[in-house]
Structure 1
């Protein structure tokens, strides 16, 4: 728990957070969370009509990367960070199917701060799975998951503290 607390405080204080917006129905709509992109300098990431240029790796991100790579069997070259400031911050149903992630991407999700529910929903059957993501937890998405399931972190009506989520990825 001590390491997770230290990482959370470090990321709140020392990460360059950005308020991105997407074009929706001809209007710029701010994302309901803060984001930023870190990683190898030659690995920009495009999603929701925006392109993020990477900030260089920092020590904390590299330590976590080095801990999770043996568990996932993957060498990650980038990480998308999401900062959920309270229960109103969220990410709606989506798949991580961007071309630069490849056919069957491995995405390692590391979570700090407030526990939030991560939901998976099958694209054909509608089956839903709720997974609580606890402080310091790791969730690995891999294989054909992005082909058959979408996922989200919904808004919450109950008061919530901050949560920071790191999603390590390989940009091809």
Structure 2
């Protein structure tokens, strides 16, 4: 495990231009990653996500949860969430992510994908509640999934595999110039929990 971690270049920018994406590889060994996945699946207050599109309310199979330092409001897809207080495990993970990246975060949006038949369409995290050009730390637990970026103008694509216990960081002008998505895959039957640590401006 250690050998694998040592060969990952955490400073490598996976985007060719107009933003910065760094992949840190696995922050946890198998046992610790399994432990956190189990705790989050059982202890987080998961809710089906809601979106309002063309005036119609859509309920997703994917579930979400929103936690933070304060009951921050976070609005996307025309719906507003209020942050819940941190759990013990979320604070532990947040501290590790902050030490690893040198960034600080005050909130976390969690996503639960029950299988590869649930994913996320092309989008960027450019909501006005978020710190502009701030870092978003994306920690993956559970099933390995492909993750993709697409440049908004040139349509260039970058794809990568996000491993169980791994960290990806998007920062600088990534959200301005790039879309990202989690493609569907019928082959994947296991759940994936994704923690996206963010900074809300308040």
Instruction: Name 1:127's counterpart in structure 2.
Output: 156
> 1:32, 1:90 within 8 Å by CA — same for their partners in 2?
no
Give me the whole-angstrom Cα distance separating, in 2, the residues matched to 1:69 and 1:28.
36
Give me the whole-angstrom Cα distance separating, in 1, the residues matched to 2:160 and 2:83.
29
Instruction: Name 1:110's counterpart in structure 2.
Output: 139
Structure 1 segment 66-81 matched on structure 2, within 5 A:
66-81=95-110
Give me the whole-angstrom Cα distance separating, in 2, the residues matched to 1:144 and 1:44.
23
1:118-171 Cα deviation digits (max 9, x unpaired) = 100011111111110100000000111111110000111213200000000000
> 2:111, 2:193 within 8 Å by CA — same for their partners in 1?
yes
1:67-118 Cα deviation digits (max 9, x unpaired) = 1112222221000000000111111110010111122021000000000111
> 1:112, 1:163 within 8 Å by CA — same for their partners in 2?
yes
1:46-66 Cα deviation digits (max 9, x unpaired) = 111111111110110001111
> 1:113, 1:161 within 8 Å by CA — same for their partners in 2?
yes
Unaligned runs of 5+ in 1: none
Give me the whole-angstrom Cα distance separating, in 1, the residues matched to 2:178 and 2:141.
24
Cα RMSD over matched residues? 1.1
Q: Structure 2 residue aligned with 1:64, among 69, 80, 93?
A: 93
Structure showing greater radius of gyration is 2
Unaligned runs of 5+ in 2: 1-29
Indicate the SS of the match to 1:159: coil
What's the TM-score, normalizing by structure 2? 0.82
> 2:143, 2:188 within 8 Å by CA — same for their partners in 1?
no
Q: Does 1:156 align with 2:191?
A: no
Structure 1 segment 160-171 matched on structure 2, within 5 A:
160-171=189-200
Give me the whole-angstrom Cα distance separating, in 1, the residues matched to 2:73 and 2:52.
19
Give me the whole-angstrom Cα distance separating, in 1, the residues matched to 2:102 and 2:129.
19
Instruction: Name 1:2's counterpart in structure 2.
Output: 31
